[in-house]
């Protein structure tokens, strides 16, 4: 776990969802694979060919953008699939309940953090998928807001979802911390907006946040 610029008067936690609130490589792989398979079918191509094309495009993009990562949603826009279409596909394809189960330790952690802070999910998945994911994890009752791909119609890393989260909580960005498993998607931009950042390896790191000393500024 890596801490960046933790605010002294921390009021809101903005949590990434996938890879942060749960650790499940099989489900993460399914999410990427099922979208690429669908795109391949639509284009009359194979998964392997489409996967190769997408990887090549993302690598070229990173090389021309100082090594930054391009989200799958933004990559699909280049391949002719709008964000609105990506939202529909994800809603149709993803069933988090098939992979995830209730996590009492996560509930306990979030319940403790939520006693003194606003809790928000900021995810590149649609709100419907986020609701199902949080329900499967048994923590749906602990978040005040869910900002999904369909809330601002832009994919992280983009300022809009993070600023929307702060605005909904009625706090300034400098009172927020963004928690996520990918530096480029979840941490770099929030830091530029004046927020703090916590880079985690997975949900096991999130459990540590329930202990006050782990995040003292």
Q: For residue 60, what are the contacts with CB-CB under 8 A and spacing of at least 6?
A: none
- Cα angle vertex 111, ends 106, 116, to 5°? 135
Bridge pairing between strands 145-147 and 176-180: unpaired
Q: For residue 214, what are the contacts with CB-CB under 8 A and spacing of at least 6?
A: 1, 208
Rule CB under 5 A: is residue 19 a binding residue for Mg ion? yes
Q: How far is the CB of 31 from Mg ion (least distance, A)?
A: 10
Q: Which of 103, 150, 181, 205 binds Mg ion (CB under 5 A)?
A: 181
Q: How far is the CB of 45 from Mg ion (least distance, A)?
A: 27
- Cα angle vertex 160, ends 153, 156, to 5°? 70
Q: How far is the CB of 17 from Mg ion (least distance, A)?
A: 7
Q: Which is nearer to Mg ion, 181 or 205 (CB)?
A: 181
Q: Which is nearer to Mg ion, 72 or 113 (CB)?
A: 72
Dist CA 25 CA 12 (whole Å): 28
Q: How far is the CB of 41 from Mg ion (least distance, A)?
A: 26
| Residue nearest Mg ion, Cβ-based | 19
Q: Which of 13, 14, 15, 18 binds Mg ion (CB under 5 A)?
A: 18
Proportion of the chain in helix, strand, coil states, percent, rounded to 5: 55, 10, 35
Q: For residue 213, what are the contacts with CB-CB under 8 A and spacing of at least 6?
A: none
Q: Which region among 68-76, 127-135, 158-166, 174-182 touches Mg ion (by CB under 5 A)? A: 174-182
Q: Which is nearer to Mg ion, 117 or 156 (CB)?
A: 156
Tell me how many residues contact Mg ion (CB under 5 A). 4
Rule CB under 5 A: is residue 205 a binding residue for Mg ion? no
Dist CA 107 CA 101 (whole Å): 12
Interaction residues for Mg ion, span 79-98 (CB under 5 A):
none
In the complex, the residues that contact Mg ion under the rule CB under 5 A are 16, 18-19, 181
């Amino acid at each position: 776990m890596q801490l960046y610029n933790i605010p002294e008067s921390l009021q809101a936690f903005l949590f990434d969802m996938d890879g942060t609130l749960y650790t499940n490589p099989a489900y993460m792989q399914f999410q990427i694979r099922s979208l690429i398979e669908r795109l391949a079918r639509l284009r009359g191509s194979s998964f392997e060919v489409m996967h190769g094309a997408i990887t090549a495009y993302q690598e070229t993009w990173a090389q021309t953008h100082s090594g930054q990562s391009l989200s799958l949603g933004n990559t699909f826009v280049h391949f002719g699939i709008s964000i609105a279409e990506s939202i529909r596909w994800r809603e149709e394809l993803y069933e988090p309940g098939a992979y995830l189960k209730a996590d009492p330790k996560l509930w306990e952690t979030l319940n403790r953090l939520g006693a003194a802070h606003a809790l928000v999910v900021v995810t590149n998945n649609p709100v419907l998928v986020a609701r199902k994911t949080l329900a499967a994890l048994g923590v749906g009752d602990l978040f005040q807001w869910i900002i999904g791909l369909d809330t601002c119609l832009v994919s992280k890393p983009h300022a809009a979802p993070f600023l929307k989260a702060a605005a909904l909580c009625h706090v300034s960005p400098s009172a927020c911390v963004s928690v996520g498993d990918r530096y480029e998607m979840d941490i770099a931009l929030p830091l530029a907006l004046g927020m703090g950042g916590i880079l985690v390896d997975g949900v096991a790191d999130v459990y540590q946040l329930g202990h006050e000393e782990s995040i003292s500024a």
